[in-house]
Chain A
Amino acid sequence: MTREHNLLQDAIAGKRAALARLLSNVENDSAFAMRLAQDLAPHAGRAHIIGITGPPGAGKSTLINQLLPRALGTHERAAVLAVDPSSPFSRGALLGDRVRMQGPSTGSNVFIRSMASRGDQGGIARATATAVQLFDACDWPVIIIETLGIGQVELDIMNLADTVVVALNPGWGDTFQANKAGLTEAGDLFVINKADRPGADSTRRELLESLSLLARRPLPTIVETVATDGSGVDELWGAICSRFMQLQADGDLATLRQARRMRLANKSIRAELDARAAASLASSAGQRLTERVAAGTMSSEETTRVLLQLLQGDQASAP
């Protein structure tokens, strides 16, 4: 831990290599990540955390490439965590988000870190939350998280970001799609990127219609952009900042972050309980249980009751 402690000191002092190595340790060693997250918990909360999410090819990386120079007009520096999927077959990954981030996005006041999802199903990686905490502790004032290209339910970003930006394109679904998707509930701001393509108006109309059915007021802002030439991006950055300042001014940011922290904790608790239940079912007592379930001689309710007893037994016998 001493070496790790020194790394943390160096990272906080501004040494990029130390921060980079800590990020790797967080990805590779979940026990270390857990300890670090606990150490950092009291220090977090200074940065504005922005999530950019949306379907594959919506232009998330290109939008970030355009947002970065604007962010650097507001803040001294900016960090990006770009998540891409790992192959479920080889565990390898092609992390290509940096290809879109060029020019001012590659200066020394920007720290871009590519992250593979490593099997996590929530649209980000298991290590992303702690990585964000690290950037925050190392005084990066704005942290932009790019999720992998998502469908409808991979919305863990809402447990991490102060501002969730959902990027869509003209022709995205129809009202029916917009209504069934959790995406509309998760977004704080909506971008219709590639707005120079036909269908931007009807996409805006359908999105607005769907959003107006939600209980939320005021309705989230919808911005049209063409990320490849930067049109609309000033407006988008302005909308991101003014919403955040409004949250700060109204005192809603603290409430929002509390709710977010509880969701994150809940997810972590459920993941741990799932893992323990699976381990318990794999034990010899668990095996006997599953055989009876499979044979139909034990109801699922009774199985749950016995399994909980098994788990409590594990707990009692744990050192």
Chain B
Amino acid sequence: MNQPSQKRILMSKTGLDGHWRGPTLVARALRDAGFEVIMIGMANTDEIVRAAVDEDVDLVGLNIGGHIDVALRAVRAVNEARPGLPVFAGGTVPPHAKRQLEELGVEVYPPGSQLAEIVDAAYRLTGATAPA
């Protein structure tokens, strides 16, 4: 009787960058693709980890603005609290930061990435099946 489990994605911003447009667009695309997207807005590492645990999400999306150190700390903390939980990231990510994130297992979608590409990644990373 049950429909396939609905996959849940946490969307958060790291740092104090005030841009909402990117994460909002991505969140809407993910919603339209059938995901339940939990927005927490600007959050520090503790808040991101707590939300990832309490909301039992299948994927974490980070919008990175400003200091890469803040984002790396958040990713490490998520990896520790929920080993194996996939993380993907977007936002203004310079090449060296992209490498650092990738070393931690994060898939990075820099500016210019297509929404379809990001949605496909969400399907793949959560193991959800795209609607026919």
Interface residues in chain A, defined as those with a beta carbon under 8 Å from any beta carbon in chain B: 16-17, 20-21, 23-24, 27-31, 86-87, 89-96, 98-99, 102, 106, 108, 111-114, 116, 118
Inter-chain contact B40/A116, CB cutoff 8 Å: no
Contact B36–A113 (Cβ < 8 Å): no
In whole angstroms, what is the CA distance A194 to B71 when docked? Answer: 36
| B53: A residues at CB distance < 8 A | 16-17, 20
A24 touches B56 (CB 8 A): yes
A275 to B28, CA, bound (A): 33
With contacts A24-B56, A30-B1, A93-B31 taken as known, whether A106 is within 8 angstroms of B36 at the C-beta atoms is no
**Does the CB pair A95–B37 fall under 8 Å?**
yes
A92-B34, A94-B28, A111-B54 known; A99+B41 contact, CB < 8 A? yes
Residues of A contacting B: mostly = mixed
Whole-angstrom distance between the Cβ of A268 and the nearest chain B Cβ: 15
Closest residue on chain B to residue A22 by CB atoms:
B56
Scoring B36, B39, B40, B82 by chain A CB atoms within 10 A of each residue's CB, the highest score goes to B36
Contact present for A112 and B54 (CB under 8 Å): yes
8 A-B residue pairs with Cβ-Cβ distance under 8 Å, sorted by A, are A24-B5, A27-B6, A28-B2, A31-B1, A92-B34, A92-B36, A93-B37, A106-B46
> Is B32 at the interface (CB under 8 A from chain A)?
yes
**A31 CB contacts on chain B under 8 angstroms:** 1-2
Residue of A nearest to B32 (CB): A90
Q: Is the CB of B54 within 8 A of A28?
A: no
With CB as the reference atom, state the residue of chain A lying closest to B51: A98
Q: Which of B20-55 contact A (CB under 8 A)?
A: 27-28, 30-41, 43, 46-47, 50-51, 53-55
| A180 to B28 Cα, complex, angstroms | 35
Q: Contact: A95 with B56, CB < 8 Å?
A: no
In the complex, besides A98-B51, A99-B39, 12 extra interface pairs with C-beta distance below 8 angstroms are: A24-B56, A87-B31, A91-B3, A92-B31, A92-B36, A95-B36, A98-B41, A102-B41, A106-B50, A108-B50, A116-B6, A118-B6
Query: Cβ of A96: which chain B residues have Cβ within 8 Å of it?
Result: 39
B40–A98 CB distance below 8 A: yes
Closest CB in chain A relative to B41 CB, distance in Å: 4
Contact assessment for B36 and A116 in the assembled complex, using a CB-CB cutoff below 8 Å: yes
With CB as the reference atom, state the residue of chain B lying closest to A91.
Answer: B34
B22 to chain A, nearest CB (A): 15
Q: Which of A23, A92, A95 contacts B33 (CB 8 A)?
A: A92
Assembled-state Cα–Cα distance A90/B6 (Å): 11
Which residues of A lie under 8 Å from residue B82 when comparing CB positions?
17
* CB <8 Å contact, A29 and B2: yes
**Complex Cα spacing A267 to B1, Å:** 19
Cβ-neighbour of B34 out of A16, A90, A94 (below 8 A) = A90
Chain B residues, CB < 8 A from A93: 31, 36-37
A114 touches B56 (CB 8 A): no
A94 touches B37 (CB 8 A): yes
Inter-chain contacts of A20 with B (CB < 8 A) = 53-56
A30 contacts B50, C-beta separation under 8 Å: no
CA of A30 to CA of B1, assembled, Å: 9
Report how far A111 CA is from B50 CA in the complex, Å: 9
Please name the residue on chain A nearest to B8 by beta carbon.
A24
Question: A92-B36, A95-B39, A116-B36 are contacts. A30–B54 as well, Cβ < 8 Å?
Answer: no
CA distance A29 to B5 in the complex (A): 8
A196 to B89, CA, bound (A): 40
The answer on a CB contact under 8 Å between B31 and A90 is: yes
- State the Cβ distance, A109 to closest chain B Cβ, in Å: 11
With both beta carbons as reference points, the residue of chain B lying nearest to A27 in the complex is identified as B6
Q: Which residue of A lies closest to B35 (CB)?
A: A92
Taking the closest CB of chain A, its distance from the CB of B38, in whole angstroms, is 5
